[in-house]
Amino acid sequence: MTDRIPFLRPSLVPSQSYFGLLQRIDSTHLYSNYGPLCTEFEARVIAEAYDGAGSLCTVNNATIGLVLAIQQSRRPGRYAVMPSFTFAATPLAAQWAGLDPYFVDVDPETWCLDPIKLQEALDHLGEEIAVVVPYATFGTGLDLKFYAELHRSSVPVVVDAAASFGTQVDGEWYGKGFPGFVVFSFHATKAFGIGEGGAVYSADTVALQRLRRAGNFGFGADRASCDQGLNSKISEYTAAIALATWEAYPEKVSRRRAIHDSYETELAALNLGEVGWQTQKVRGAVPFQFMPLLSPEGVLNRQVVDRLSDLGVECRTYFSPACHQQPQFSGCPHAGLEVTESLSRRILSLPLWEGMTSAHVERILRGITG
Ligand SMILES: *Cc1c(COP(=O)(O)O)cnc(C)c1O
């Protein structure tokens, strides 16, 4: 049998690429608490990606980043309005921040919150909404114009941009200038994978400073806790990997985009669009984490996953079950979720990793049609 194609095979930067940074830790004896490597990483991202606009705070993972961002920006009210078509971390973070998730449907093409249905929820729930948490689905450059306006005028917005670190829209790094919090994940399975980690960006440097303090036990100047803080700091070892990954990232991103391009080419060559297979309508240049594909109406993703598995291809079905279909969130209130439920029956996550070739892509897509 030909080799198995795993769903993901993360390739983090090799240890020799940050060995010199580890030796710096040995000599400084600084291991955490926003040490020199952490500070250097945050400063480089702001200077090189955001042209000096706003600030960035590293966090030990995006879930904790979301908890902090929601807790720090929420207004009174009980609901965190969000899509159900997201990773469980989004509603879990709202629950840890003391809120009830309220699920709203997504757009059938972008797979992000449907703006019209969101407006209906805003009108319907009004003051009961504490925060809105849109998800930039699978790394897309979700348009933040409406959300920036909403954040400034009435309802705080936290963007779950877990897979969007490196996404560029019109040549600008994703989130630049956004007045609320934008949360990125650096988990090993994300494009900017460093093991465990993440970062929160905001153009509002004062708010970001508050979030940083909350992530260090809420300690004020005299080391007295003055907020319901927690510990969200990364170690200097993690920061060393982040700095080495920053150097390697342009190369990694172009590799990922090239594999995505082979998928697009092969999908067209096999005329899969004409028989109802559908790709996500994305905005901007995305550092794809995997290859999402929607099966035609009437073709269940489970059947495709099984067929591919028999052919030695490992796939997933993110995000199926959708959040409202999971026991932890089954009691959460929601608006109509017809599109989410349709996506949940048909969504496939196909392999995409840096060592893949176009021959792999061909084998996967040929397998799909059976
Ligand atoms: C990966 C992911 C998270 C969680 O990130 P961690 O760094 O693993 O905590 C949150 N939301 C979404 C949409 C994700 O894809």
- Please check whether residues 284 and 364 belong to one and the same domain: yes
Determine, yes or no, domain membership for 10: no
284's tokens: 């901007």
Domain at 169, CATH number = 3.40.640.10
Boundary (domain end) residue, out of 217, 245, 273: 245
Which residue stretches of the chain have pLDDT < 70?
1-2, 370
CA–centroid distance, residue 38 to ligand 1 (Å): 21
156: how many CB neighbours lie within 10 A of its CB?
Answer: 23
- The pLDDT of residue 150 is 98
- Please check whether residues 240 and 253 belong to one and the same domain: no
Boundary (domain end) residue, out of 245, 278, 312: 245
Q: Is the model's pTM score more than 0.85?
A: yes
- Please check whether residues 218 and 339 belong to one and the same domain: no
CA–centroid distance, residue 183 to ligand 1 (Å): 9
Q: Are 319 and 87 in contact (CB under 8 A)?
A: yes
Per-residue pLDDT tens digits for 152-183: 999 999 999 999 999 999 999 999 999 999 99
Query: Which sign, positive or negative, has the C-alpha torsion 209, 159, 287, 344?
Result: positive
- The pLDDT of residue 222 is 86
- Please check whether residues 106 and 195 belong to one and the same domain: yes
The boundaries of the domain holding residue 280 are 249-368
- Please check whether residues 195 and 317 belong to one and the same domain: no
The three-class DSSP label of residue 82 is strand
- Please check whether residues 123 and 84 belong to one and the same domain: yes
Helices (H), ranges, 29-132: 36-48, 62-73, 89-96, 115-125
52's tokens: 């000096």
Kindly tell me the burial class for residue 268, based on how many C-beta atoms sit within 10 Å of its own C-beta (0-12, 13-18, 19 or more).
Answer: exposed
- Please check whether residues 325 and 302 belong to one and the same domain: yes
Share of the chain above pLDDT 90, in %: 97
Per-residue pLDDT tens digits for 90-144: 999 999 999 999 999 999 999 999 999 999 999 999 999 999 999 999 999 999 9
Kindly tell me the burial class for residue 75, based on how many C-beta atoms sit within 10 Å of its own C-beta (0-12, 13-18, 19 or more).
Answer: exposed
CB-defined site of ligand 1, < 6 Å: 61-63, 86-87, 89-90, 135, 160, 162-163, 185, 187, 198
- The pLDDT of residue 369 is 80
d(CA 344, CA 328) in angstroms, rounded, equals 17
Boundary (domain end) residue, out of 245, 268, 284: 245
- Please check whether residues 282 and 346 belong to one and the same domain: yes
- Please check whether residues 259 and 339 belong to one and the same domain: yes
Q: Which of 58, 60, 63, 142 to mutate to test the pocket of ligand 1 (most atoms within 8 A of CB)?
A: 63
Determine, yes or no, domain membership for 19: yes
Domains: count for the chain: 2
- The pLDDT of residue 309 is 96
Determine, yes or no, domain membership for 281: yes
